[in-house]
Amino acid sequence: MIIRSHNGGYLLIRQTDHALLSGRFAAHWGNERFARPEPFESCHLAAALHDFGWGAWEKQPKLDPATRQPLDFLHVSAPDHIALYRAGIAEAVRRDAYAGLLVSMHGAGLYRGRYGPDPQSRIARSPDALRPAMLAYVAEQDALQAQLRRSLAPVGSMDEFGRRAETNHRLMQKWDRLSLCLCTSDLRWAPEGHLAPCPTGYGGEEITLTLRPAWPSSVAVSPYPFDVTPLVVCVEARTIPASACADEETYRRAYRHADRTTLTFEVHSA
């Protein structure tokens, strides 16, 4: 759950809806400067499903016991977090093996600094008591990814297959981060941001995307990676009053019956 303050209460965006927004970016990625992701359908599905496992958690969302505020996606306990990603990865693999490979890379990457030189990975930041379960989960995903690569890669092309999968994983991170930028920020006050390194295709070139919020609900992206400008996208949100957080059952009831609103964003070329 993505939580934002709103009119003295809260605006809630489900992770599953944020993921669908990521899928919209994947569906329109590609133009004369940026290569279309391939295999297209699998990459699109992976982006749209990358947080699918949150669906079960979102049926029974929780309050933060320390603050009595709605618990957001950054503060869900490690056991719950691992369980929901395991379920989401399994569903992605069931639907499409290549999409499942990318979703597994995403789910493991959350614990490994997104496969980059990040000393502040979730494992590094966690108490010692939680690390064995995290390491076991990551090892499990490594084994799953190796199995999927062996089954999907054409004979004699394992290295090239792996490089393209890594590129698609990095692209999925950018679709994810752009969606989070829109879902988590009040664009009236959001600073300029950057997404890097961003692949332009499968030849190894990577560049930095610059995001410039243009109040109140649009963002300019440079260089522009989509096939249409402006790209108009939407995400569903719910609003609840602060009084709905008196206790967890009251919060869940308010969440189920919350007013729904559609947030519409315009992404355009700078």
The pLDDT value recorded for residue 116 is 56
Tell whether pTM > 0.85. Answer: yes
56 token code pair: 């079960």
Q: Locate 95 and state its tokens.
A: 């639907």
Written as six digits, the tokens of 264 are: 């519409």
Q: What is the predicted pLDDT for the residue at 215?
A: 75
Residue-level pLDDT at 58: 96
Distance CA 230, CA 219 (A): 10
CA 73/CA 91 separation, integer angstroms: 20
The pLDDT of residue 117: 47
Q: How far is residue 48 from each of residues 43, 129, 168, 176, measured CA to CA in Å?
A: 9, 33, 14, 9
* Cβ 194 vs Cβ 214: under 8 Å: no
DSSP strand pairing (259-269 vs 218-222):
parallel
Within 8 A by CB and 6+ apart from 176, the residues are 19, 22, 47, 50, 106
206 vs 6, 99, 195, CA distance in Å?
37, 22, 11
The pLDDT of residue 156: 85
* DSSP notation for 21-79: HHHHHHHTB--SSSPPPSSHHHHHHHHHHTTTTHHHHHHS--B-TTT-SB--TTSS-HH
């297959």: which residue's tokens? Answer: 161
pLDDT at 131: 85
pLDDT tens digits for range 117-172 = 454 567 666 677 888 999 999 999 999 999 999 999 998 899 999 999 999 999 99
**Within 13 Å and on the Cβ side, how many CA atoms surround 154?**
4
Q: Distance (Å, rounded) from C-alpha 12 to C-alpha 126?
A: 26
Structure token pair of residue 124:
């590094």
Measured in residues, the chain has a length of 270
Rounded CA-CA distance 268/219 in Å is 6
Enumerate the domain spans of the chain. Answer: 2-269
Give me the residues of the chain with pLDDT under 50, please: 117, 119
